[in-house]
Amino acid sequence: MKQVKKQCMLIIGSQYGDEGKGKFTDILADEYDYIVRFQGGDNAGHSIVIKGVKYKLRLIPSGIFKPNKKAVIGHGVVVNPKTLIKEINYLKQNGFNTKGRLFVSNRAHVITDYHIAIDKYYEDLKGDQKVGTTLCGIGPCYADKIQRVGIRTSDLLDKDELRKKIELSFRTKKAILPAVGFSKNDINKLVNEYYDLGQQIKPYITNTIDLLNDAYKVGKKILFEGAQGTFLDIDMGTYPYVTSSSTVAGVSSGSGISITKMHNVLSIVKAYTSRVGEGPFIAEIDGKIADYIRERGSEYGTVTKRPRRVGWLDLVMLRYAVNVVGTTEIALTLLDVLSGLKEIKVCVAYKYKNKTIHEILPDNKQYALCKPIYKTFKGWKEDITLIKHFKDLPKNAQAYINFLSKQLDTPITYISVGNDRIRTIKH
């Protein structure tokens, strides 16, 4: 299928994250001038394999690996400056230059050490109702943003302003700070520490809203790299087992580029499903098949290292994702992981209270009661990692892909058959 080049493209995960967005950002970055992160924070691990070497990032857009491309961290991202500095140094140590290529919004909110401490404290309080957060301080930082007591990257550059912001934040937290190991006596230390961090990232801080809109006006192409996945969206995901930002609608509010300029949406769909943390997972499986998929797919959290829960592909989820995201095309990833299975299942509907349904129930207790209704496909034994054309895939793999595309009424334009960027079929 011939690809239509658009000035703006959004790459977004269609499941619970970890679908392989980083790989396709890396592949498509060749065609774009700017690569933008617009939500989330350093809780979003992206892995890129280049010439057999795996690189991992949590905050900086993975397009930074492309020479002469500009990577932008938009104001919708919450930034831990310590992580940012570590990643800048990591990139330099591996031969990737960030000078003049990395831009951080001067409106992005800052994650501090007390946000991380509060995150752990709240998670512990929830007990058996815990969310399974990465404990990176993401939620408490977004909470400060909404309560209008947050610290932004521009504040790090003005010591007096930074002090005022930290003092205000502490006043609103006086009841909880002792429980997480902080007091007024820590303010001076925090001011000095985060001012110093601000000086280190000062060369990267800029007005990214004007940067991106000016680039758009002169015809530059912009690629938006989503973090996490559709079902971790704060509003449209399986709340409360979600992330703290909008993974779906945050592209405009988190970058400053109007949604009307998003011409193309590439949804990344893993050939099966995985999930980190708590929450309902209707098509989840366990036992030998789950272990087989987990090990072949390296299903362990990039940030947390936790083993991911795995399951079959869920078309009820994917139809929902295609609708709310506005998907124009799909990239199917990790198809090679399924090689060697005798049978492959796809959840096509749910059974709920003796009724067949095709919707995601908003009440998690009710949703968790749903049982999967499966369609079973014959598997394939062949190693598909070296295949370059769709017609050369095993017939059973072709049947699986064609079924998915028809059911989702969306073209599958890319098929990933291995970790490396060259292990990709254009369809």
DSSP H or E segment with residue 129:
none
**Catalytic one of 26, 33, 42, 46:** 46
DSSP state of 12: E
CA quadruple 241, 130, 22, 33: dihedral sign: positive
Question: What are 358's two structure tokens?
Answer: 């095709």
Is beta strand 309-311 parallel, antiparallel or unpaired with respect to 284-285? Answer: antiparallel
State yes or no: is 115 an active-site residue.
no
Question: How far, rounded to the nearest angstrom, does the alpha carbon of residue 403 sit from its chain's CA centroid?
Answer: 26
CA atoms of 167 and 179, how far apart (whole Å): 18
273-275 β-sheet, strand order: 273-275, 309-311, 284-285
Q: For residue 222, count CB atoms less than 10 angstroms from its CB and return exposed for 0-12, middle for 13-18, buried for 19 or more.
A: buried
Query: Is the N-terminal amide bond of 67 cis, ω within 30° of 0?
Result: no
For residue 196, the tally of other CB atoms under 10 A from its CB is: 12
- For 315-340, b/e burial (b = at least 16 CB within 10 A) is bbbbbbbbebbebbbbbbbbbbbbbe
DSSP state of 297: T
CA atoms of 42 and 310, how far apart (whole Å): 23
**Catalytic one of 18, 113, 119, 233:** 18
Question: What are 351's two structure tokens?
Answer: 């059974």
Q: Per DSSP, which regions of 148-290 are E strands?
A: 205-206, 222-225, 264-270, 273-275, 284-285
Residue whose C-alpha is closest to residue 231's, from 341, 102, 362: 362
Cα torsion at 154, 159, 163, 165 (round to 10°)? -10
For residue 179, the tally of other CB atoms under 10 A from its CB is: 12
CA atoms of 257 and 125, how far apart (whole Å): 39
Q: Is 320 helix (H, G, I), strand (E, B) or coil?
A: helix
Residues annotated as part of the active site:
18, 46
